[in-house]
Structure 1
C-alpha cells in the first residue's frame, strides 16, 4: 500500500511538473475613473511557468469595444509575455469586460478582466478659461 502511494505521488508530481502553465501579475485591471476619449490601452503581463513554450492561439473579448492583442511568438519557459487590451473610452459609464485566452496551457482557456468608469472629462480649453478668470 505504501509503495502504491509513492508511485501515485511520483506520477502526479511528474504530471504537474510537465504541465504547461502561465501566471498573470494581475488577472483584473481596474482602470478606475477615466476621462472620456482618454487612453484606453492597458497591458496584462504574464510569465510562462511551464517547461515548454507557451503559445497563445486566440484571444476573444465580450464585445467590439474591447480589442485584445496577443503575442505573435511563443513565450519560452521562464519568460514574460504581454497581452495589450484597448477599451473604447468614448463610451460613457461603467464597464466590466472579459477577455478569453485560448492557449496550449494545461487549462486551455483562461479569462482575464478589465473594469472601470468612463466619465465626461473637462476639456483643456475649459480648464484654461476657468484658471484665467481667477
Structure 2
C-alpha cells in the first residue's frame, strides 16, 4: 500500500512539473516619444522554457486603442514566439500606459505586458527638430480633396482611390485614419513612400445612415508641416436599394394561382 501511495505521489509530482512556461525577454516596452497619428508597434518575444507545448488562447488589450496579435500555433519546448502590440496614437496626445493580458495553458496562465510612451502633437514635434531636420522631412501631397460615390446601397462597402505623393526628402509614413463616423478604413495597410514617389491609397467606405452623407476623414502621417494631416471628404447618397422601383413593387405583389 505504501509503495502504491509513493508511486501516486511521484506521478502527481511529475505531472505538476510537466508544463509549458512562457518566458518573455521583457514585459514592459517604453516607446519614448511617439509622433501623433502614427501606429506605435512592438513585438514582445518569448520562449517556451517548459517541457510541454504552449498554446496562447487569447491576448486582451486594456483599451480599444491597442490592437494585439500573437503566435497562433502551439509553441513547442525550446521554441519561440511573439505577442505584438500596436498603439494607435491618432487623436491621443500625451502620456499613455496600456496593457495586454496573455492567456495560455502555460504554468502561469495569465501574464500582463505593458507598453507606454508620450504622444507628441505636430507642434511639439517641431520644437524637437532643427531647421535642417525640417528641411529633410517628408511632405504629403494628396491628389484630390474628396470623392463622391454617388448613389450607394445601404450595407454596401465601396472603395475610394486616392494618390499620395511625397514631395519631401525622407520617407513618408502614413498613419491612422480618423473620422467621426468610424466607417472608413484602409483597404490594405500603406507602405512607406520614398521621397519624390507616389503611391495609390484605397479607402474602404461603409456609411451607416440613409440619405446624403459627407464624412470628413483625416489621414495622419509623419509629415510635421501644416499639410501633414491631410483632410478629405467622402460623399454618397445612401438608399435602401439600387434595384429598379418597378422590380421592388413587383416583388412585393401577391401573384394569384391560376
TM-score, normalised via structure 2 length? 0.43
Task: Note the C-alpha offset of 1:99.
Answer: 0.6
Asked if 1:29 corresponds to 2:29, the answer is yes
Based on CA coordinates, which of the two structures has the bigger radius of gyration?
A: 2
Matched with 2:118 is 117
Moved over 6 A (4+): 10-13
Matched with 1:80 is 80
Select between 89-98 and 13-22 the one with higher mean Cα deviation.
13-22
The SS at the match of 2:108 is coil
The SS at the match of 1:40 is strand
Ranked by relative contact order (alpha carbons within 8 Å, sequence separation 6 or more), the top structure is 1
Superimposed CA distance per residue, residues 53-85 of structure 1 (whole angstroms, 9 cap, x where no aligned partner): 110001101100011102121111101101111
Aligned length: 123
The SS at the match of 2:43 is strand
Query: Where does 1:1-134 land on structure 2 (aligned, <5 Å)?
Result: 14=14, 17-90=17-90, 91-121=92-122, 122=125, 127-128=134-135
Whole-angstrom CA distance in 2 between matches of 1:13 and 1:46: 26
Whole-angstrom CA distance in 2 between matches of 1:102 and 1:115: 21
Name structure 1 gaps, 5 residues minimum: 1-6, 130-134
Task: Note the C-alpha offset of 1:12.
Answer: 8.7
Name structure 2 gaps, 5 residues minimum: 1-6, 137-258
Whole-angstrom CA distance in 2 between matches of 1:72 and 1:22: 14
Whole-angstrom CA distance in 2 between matches of 1:61 and 1:74: 21
